Amino acid sequence: MPTLTLIQAVNDGLKVSMRQDESVLVFGEDVGPKGGVFLATEGLTAEFGKARCFDTPLSEDGIIGTAIGMAANGLRPVCEIQFQDFIFPAFDQIVSEAAKLRYRSGGQYTAPMVIRTPYGGGIRGGLYHSQSGEAYFAHTAGLKVVIPSTAYDAKGLLLAAIEDPDPVLFMEPKALYRHEKGEVPEGHYTVDLSTLRTVREGDNVTVFCYGSMVPVVEKAAAKAAEQGIQCEVVDLRTLLPLDEQGVLDAARKTGRCVIVHEAPRFCGYGAEISAMIAENIIEYMEAPVRRVTGFDTPFPNTLEHHYLPDERRVLDAIEEVARY
C-alpha cells in the first residue's frame, strides 16, 4: 500500500472520484494549472481537462452559488475555498441556500456537493490564514461538517462526502497537510460519515478531538500513560451529524472527559460535547468536563505557538480530570 501525506491522499481521492464518475468536477481559485495553493488539485486539469477542473474568478459567493446550481442539475461539484478564512463571502450561499434547499423544496431539489477548505493555524498565517470556523457551520441544519486527521481518513471521508446526497463542508487541517503520512489503499474506498475513530484505548480519561489537534492529543496521551493515566482518545471526524452514541459510550467508559479544539472556546464545538454529556450521562461522571481550546481572541501571528493548544496544555487537563 502506498504511503501518502494527507494532501496527497486528498489529491488521490479527487482523482479516484473523477475517474469513476463523470459528473464530478473540481473548481475554485487557482485549482487549475497551478494545482491549488497547497497542491491538492495538482494534475487534475491535465488528466480531466478544463471543463472538469478549472479556475474561477475571485468570488467565493460565485463559487458556492454556481456549485449549488450544478448540484441541483445533476453534477457533483467539489469546490475549493482557498482558505477557510475566505469562506465568509459565501456564508449566505452555504447557510441560506445549500443547507436549506432540501428542506424548503420538500426534497424536490437538493445540493449534493462538497466544499473543501484548509483550516487552522500552525503556518504563521495570522488573523486570516489560520482560523478554525467549524462552529459557525456545525450550527447549520442541513449541512454536514467533516474534518479528517489522517491520510487514510482524508481519502475515505472525501469519497464518502462526494457520494453523500447532502452538502458537505470538508475542512482540511492544513498544519497536517505534509506532516501527516500514512498508508492509503489505491482505488476506491470510503469511510462512513458520522462515525468516530478510536485513536487509542484507555480506561482513565477520555479525550475528544479532531483535525489538527489529534496528533497533539496523541502525544499528550503517550505522556499521560508514562504516569499511569490511560487515555481513550477519540477522533470525532464528522462534527455534524455527530456519532452521538459513540461519544456517550466513550465518555461513560472513563467518566472523565477532556475536549480539545484549536478554535476559540466560547460557543465552540466542545461546548456541544460537554452539554451532551451533562444532559445524558452526568450520573456517570467522576470529574467536571474540561476543555482545552484556542483563546477567545482573533488568531495572532508571531505568538501563534501560545495560542494553539499544545501537548502541555492538553496534559495539564488530562492530569486535572484524572486526579479529581
Partner 1 sequence: MQIETAPEPFSVIGANGDVGGHKVTLSDEELIQCYRTMLTVRAFDDVCMKLQRSGRIGFSVPNKGVEACQVGAASALRQSDFFFPSYRDFGMALYHGVHPVEMMHNMFGNNLDAARGRQMPVHFSFTDPIKYFSISSPIGTHLPQAVGAAYAHQMRGEDNVTLASFGDGGTSSLGFHSALNFAGVWKSPVIFLCQNNGWAISCPSDEQTASDGFAIKGAAYGVPGVTVDGNDVLAMHQAVSEAADRARRGEGPTLIEAVTYRMGGHSTSDDPSKYVPKETLEEWAEKDPVKRFREFLTVRGMWTEELESEWSAAAYEQVNSGAKEAESTEGPRLETIFSDVYAELPQHLRRQGEAAFDLAKRKGDADAGGGAFPL
Ligand X SMILES: Cc1ncc(C[n+]2csc(CCOP(=O)(O)OP(=O)(O)O)c2C)c(N)n1
Residues marked as catalytic: 129
Out of 15, 52, 61, 222, the residue judged to bind partner 1 by CB under 8 A: 61
Binding flag, residue 307, partner 1 (CB under 8 A): yes
Binding flag, residue 178, partner 1 (CB under 8 A): no
Q: Which is nearer to ligand X, 89 or 126 (CB)?
A: 89
Which one-letter DSSP state was computed for residue 303?
Answer: T
Q: CB of residue 24 vs ligand X: minimum separation in angstroms?
A: 23
Residue 119 is inside which H or E element, if any? strand 114-119
What are the DSSP calls for 22-88, one per residue?
A: TTEEEEETT-STT--TTSTTTTHHHHH-TTTEEE--S-HHHHHHHHHHHHHTT-EEEEE-SSGGG-G
Q: Which three cell numbers stand for residue 236?
A: 470525532
Measured at the CA of 117, the angle between CA 115 and CA 120, to 5 degrees, comes to: 145
Q: Which is nearer to ligand X, 112 or 120 (CB)?
A: 120
Here's the x/- map for partner 1, 262-281, by CB under 8 A: it reads as ---xx---------------
Binding flag, residue 302, partner 1 (CB under 8 A): yes
Binding flag, residue 127, ligand X (CB under 6 A): no
321 phi, psi to nearest 5 deg: -75, -30
Cα separation, 73 vs 83, whole angstroms:
27
Q: CB of residue 222 vs ligand X: minimum separation in angstroms?
A: 37
Place of cell 451533562: 278
**207 contacts 153 by C-beta, under 8 angstroms:** no
Here's the x/- map for ligand X, 76-115, by CB under 6 A: it reads as ------x---x--x--------------------------
**263 contacts 132 by C-beta, under 8 angstroms:** yes
Out of 15, 30, 200, 271, the residue judged to bind partner 1 by CB under 8 A: 30
Contact residues toward partner 1 (CB under 8 A) are 29-30, 32-35, 37, 55-59, 61-62, 85-86, 88-89, 124-129, 265-266, 295-298, 300-303, 306-307, 312-313, 316
Contact residues toward ligand X (CB under 6 A) are 29, 58, 60, 82, 86, 89
